């Protein structure tokens, strides 16, 4: 019997040098506050819209960051709504975090100040570089993404948000204009390909 030759499975892990999740969260909070293009809310609780019959229905989601766009970001061309970010320490296999994000995609999150439920347009994993291949396709279809920092001590210091292999936007800390938004649509298709 002949079997198809397949490439070895590529294991993707979170990046950076954060030995604890709290360090990762603190660094991202610092960067988000410096950007000033989102209203930043930490540890936001939510409610699941839908839970499959085989899942524990007593749990509620809590996402590390819920970001709502400021008028500055909207004027720069942001056509989406809120985004969520789930944080992990470095060198973590991304399978379990992506499963967590998949669960969070079936949730709405309660604004900490106003009695409003928010459904994020994207949910990103931090710190994680752009993904490739099949996993990137699944992430793009579900509007899951990755966010990473590049060039922290360089002229091109930026925070980069990807949905699968496509860049959603970048924020450049030392350049003008700071905001670079990719106008492509993500996760619009349904059914067979």
**Is pLDDT at 90 greater than 70 in this prediction?**
yes
pLDDT of residue 186: 66
pLDDT-derived band at 191 (thresholds 50, 70, 90) equals: low
The tokens for 89 are 């320490």
Q: Strands across the sheet with 166-172, in order?
A: 117-118, 107-110, 38-48, 62-69, 83-87, 122-126, 144-150, 158-163, 166-172, 179-181
pLDDT of residue 56: 72
pLDDT of residue 188: 64
pLDDT of residue 152: 87
Q: What value does the mean pLDDT of the chain take?
A: 90
pTM of the model: 0.90
Could you tell me which CATH class the domain 21-50+58-181 is placed in? Answer: alpha beta
Average pLDDT in the 54-62 region? 82
Structure-derived torsion over alpha carbons of residues 193, 55, 121, 188, reported in degrees to the nearest 10 = 10
pLDDT-derived band at 174 (thresholds 50, 70, 90) equals: very high
- DSSP state letters, 132-170: -HHHHHHHHHHTEEEEEEE-TTSTT-EEEEEETTEEEEE
pLDDT in tens, 5-33: 555 556 899 999 999 999 999 999 999 99
Q: pLDDT above 70 covers what percent of the chain?
A: 90
Q: How far apart are CA 21 and CA 1, in angstroms?
A: 48
Average pLDDT in the 86-107 region? 96
pLDDT of residue 7: 53
Q: How far apart are CA 108 and CA 110, in angstroms?
A: 7
Q: pLDDT above 90 covers what percent of the chain?
A: 78
pLDDT-derived band at 54 (thresholds 50, 70, 90) equals: confident
Q: How far apart are CA 158 and CA 146, in angstroms?
A: 14
Q: How many CB atoms lie within 10 A of CB 180?
A: 15
CA end-to-end span of the chain, whole Å? 30
**Is pLDDT at 2 greater than 70 in this prediction?**
no
pLDDT in tens, 126-154: 999 999 999 999 999 999 999 999 998 88
- DSSP state letters, 56-105: -TT---EEEEEEEE-HHHHHTT-----EEEEE--SS-BSHHHHHHHHHHT
Q: How far apart are CA 126 and CA 16, in angstroms?
A: 10
**Is pLDDT at 60 greater than 80 in this prediction?**
yes
* 113 or 52: which leads in pLDDT: 113
């Amino acid at each position: 019997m002949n079997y198809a030759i397949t490439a070895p499975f590529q294991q993707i892990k979170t990046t950076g040098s954060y030995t604890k999740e709290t360090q990762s969260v603190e660094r991202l909070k610092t960067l988000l506050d410096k950007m000033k293009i989102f209203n930043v809310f930490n540890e936001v609780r939510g409610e699941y819209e839908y839970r499959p019959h085989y899942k524990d229905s007593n749990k509620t989601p809590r996402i590390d960051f819920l970001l709502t766009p400021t008028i500055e970001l909207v004027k720069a061309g942001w056509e989406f709504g809120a985004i969520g970010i789930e944080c992990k320490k470095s060198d973590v296999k991304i399978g379990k975090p992506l499963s967590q994000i998949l669960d969070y995609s079936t949730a709405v999150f309660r604004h900490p100040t106003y009695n409003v439920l928010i459904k994020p347009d994207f949910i990103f994993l931090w710190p994680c570089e752009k993904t490739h291949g099949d996993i990137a396709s699944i992430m793009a279809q579900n509007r899951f993404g990755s966010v990473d920092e590049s060039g922290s001590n360089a002229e091109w210091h930026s925070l980069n948000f990807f949905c699968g292999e496509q860049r959603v936007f970048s924020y450049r800390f030392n350049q003008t204009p700071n905001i670079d938004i990719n106008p492509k649509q993500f996760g619009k298709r349904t059914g067979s390909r």
